[in-house]
Each structure stands twice: as C-alpha cells, then as structure tokens.
Amino acid sequence: MIGTILLIVVVIFFAMNMGASGIAPSFAASWGAKLIKKKNALLLFGIFVVLGAFFLGRNVAFTLGKGIIPQQFISFEVVLIILTAATLSLFLANILKIPQSTSQVTVGALVGAGLYFKHLYLKTLLLKILPAWVILPLLSYIFTFLLYRNIYPPDHDNLHIYQKMFANEKKLKLSSLIVSCYVAFAIGTNNVANAVGPLFGAGILGINSGLVLIGPLFGVGAWLMGKGTLETAGNEIVPLGAFSGTLVSFVTATLLIFASLLGIPQSLVQLNLASIFAISSVKNGHKYTLDRHITRKTFFVWIITPLLSTGISYLLLSLK
C-alpha cells in the first residue's frame, strides 16, 4: 500500500516537472514576443499536450516500456526507482531554471537499471536513440539558421518579406499562437510517454489509459512550476519576435513529431533551444551566442542531468 502511494506521488511529481520544463519550448516564443498572457499560455499548453498524447503517443511509450531493457526486469520496485531518478534529475534542472530533456533523464534512468541488471538493448540505444539525439538538434539549428538568415537583417533583397509581414501583422500573430499549440501537441506525442512507458513495461497501466491519465498533469505542472523556464527561453537567450518565434516553434515541433512517429524518445527542449541559439547566431554571431553564461549553463545542465539520472537509478537499485 505504501509503495503504491509512493509510486502515485512520484508519477504525479514527475509529470508535473515535465510540464514545467515543456512549457518553455512550446510557448516561450509566443510569450517572449508578448503575443499571449502567461496564464493563457499555460492553459493552452495543457489542452494540446493531452491531445498529442492521445493521438500519437503510443510509439514512444512502447519504446520506453519494452525497447531499452527487457520487460521482465521492469517490476513495480524498478519502475518506482526509474521514475524517482528521472524526477530528481529533472527537478534539479527546473530549480536551475534550465529547460531540460524529460526524454533524456528517463532514458538515463532506464539505462541505469539496464546496467544494474546487465541487460540493455544496445541496438536501440546506439543505432536509434543516441544518433537522433545528436542529429535532430543539429538539424533544428541548421534549418532555423538557413531560413532566418534569408530575412535577417533587413535589406533590399528581402524587403518585400517585411512589407508582407507588416501588412498581415494580425495573421502573423495568430499563426504564431497556432504553432505554439502545435508544439504543445508535439510534446504530448513524445514526452508524456516518459512516465507512461515504464508503467506500461511493468504492466501497471495500459498505454492508452496511461496517456489519458498522465497528460493533464503536464498542464498542472506548467501552471505551478513553469514560469522560470518560460522566462529563461523567452527572454534570456535572445528576445524573439513574432516571425522568429513562429519559425522556431514550427521547426522544432515538426522534428519532434517525426521522432514520435519513429518511436524515438526525443528532447523537444533541446530542439527548441538549438533553434533559438540559431536565431541568436544570426543576430549576434556564433561567438557571442556561445560565450554567453546562459548558453554555457544550458549545455552543462544538458550533459549532467542524464548522467545524474543514470547514476541515481543504478545506486538506488544497488541499495534496494
């Protein structure tokens, strides 16, 4: 009974922390451009996460439940430890106000369990998940950089683009908000599975029921804990306008949905910030962007927290 209550508490806290981290890549661009109030962004985020989880969340949940470590090793106790390790790592990132990958801390915790049991599906990790973690953020940066470079800075060759934007400012703002909802939908297709997958692997919850039950907790977490990460991504790296914000959101959400269709647990946070770094590089240069404290702090947290999740998971299993 105590174990069940503890698992419920951990799942709720984990999902809420994922919501707090996920609000930044979905609505930071729109909020940073002052197109939406913070409370409205948090509400829309919760709604579209649930829709994404319901329609396209199964593939990633299946990978996390059965594709990283053999299902026979995922017991009730192991699930509790995996989610605890991932939650603690993600909570640390949120305390530091750095948007972090929920997928990477979850996979890290599963890898820690696999190392403890000496059973890992290395083919899935080395040929599918890890390459995507490198390639997709790189593509996010490249696509955004190439597209944004064509319109910034304003000059004679791209002046017609600015004239169209100024003439259709209301439509541009509406498009930005729609794309932000598209990002929240994309988060639902991928990141809700971080909590559902291990529960499914242990036979505690079915995929569909898990996605529907856990999805709304993302909205609660965004509302209670997501303001800091929203401000970090929306203002501190580079201020975003309506067009650049829409571009960032569209590129990153599309890449995440692509990963979801392939069943790859992928970090939208990293796709999003890679895209925002590209905007900063076009505006301020690569050297300025890389030299900024917030940039170095972000990369440091990205590296440390998955390793921390792996270590905590392994240590807790060793102590049980």
pLDDT band (50, 70, 90) for residue 300: confident
Residue 87 sits at the vertex; the CA angle it makes with 319 and 192, to the nearest 5 degrees, is 130
How far apart, in whole angstroms, are the C-alpha atoms of residue 61 and residue 26? Answer: 21
Where is pLDDT greater, at 287 or 61? 61
Q: What is the largest CA-CA distance in the chain?
A: 70
- Residue 267 dihedral angles phi and psi, to the nearest 5°: -90, 110
CB contact at 8 A, 230 and 40: no
Averaged pLDDT score across all residues of the chain: 84
CB contact at 8 A, 77 and 300: no
Predicted model pTM:
0.86
pLDDT over 90 at 164, yes or no: no
**For the residues 41-60, what does the mean pLDDT come to?**
92
How far apart, in whole angstroms, are the C-alpha atoms of residue 219 and residue 23? Answer: 9
Q: Angle of helix 2-32 relative to helix 76-95, nearest 10 degrees?
A: 30
On the CB side of 279, CA atoms within 13 Å amount to 24
pLDDT in tens, 207-240: 988 898 899 898 888 878 766 666 665 555 545 6
List, as one string, the DSSP characters of the chain: -HHHHHHHHHHHHHHHHHHHHHHHHHHHHHHHTT-S-HHHHHHHHHHHHHHHHHHH-HHHHHHHHHSSS-GGG--HHHHHHHHHHHHHHHHHHHHTT----HHHHHHHHHHHHHHHHT---HHHIIIIIHHHHHHHHHHHHHHHHHHHHTTSS--TTTHHHHHHHHHTHHHHHHHHHHHHHHHHHHHHHHTTHHHHHHHHHTTSS-HHHHHHHHHHHHHHHHHHH-HHHHHIIIIIS----HHHHHHHHHHHHHHHHHHHHTT----HHHHHHHHHHHHHHHHH-HHHHHHSHHHHHHHHHHHHHHHHHHHHHHHHHHH-
Token pair recorded at residue 241 = 């306008």
Look at 37-46, 57-66, 195-204 and tell me which has the smallest mean pLDDT: 37-46
How far apart, in whole angstroms, are the C-alpha atoms of residue 214 and residue 199? Answer: 11
Q: Angle of helix 207-225 relative to helix 2-32, nearest 10 degrees?
A: 60
CB contact at 8 A, 45 and 253: no
What pLDDT does 32 receive? 64
What pLDDT does 198 receive? 93
Token pair recorded at residue 291 = 């030299």
Token pair recorded at residue 2 = 């105590």
What pLDDT does 239 receive? 54
CB contact at 8 A, 197 and 106: yes
What pLDDT does 173 receive? 73
How far apart, in whole angstroms, are the C-alpha atoms of residue 132 and residue 120? Answer: 18
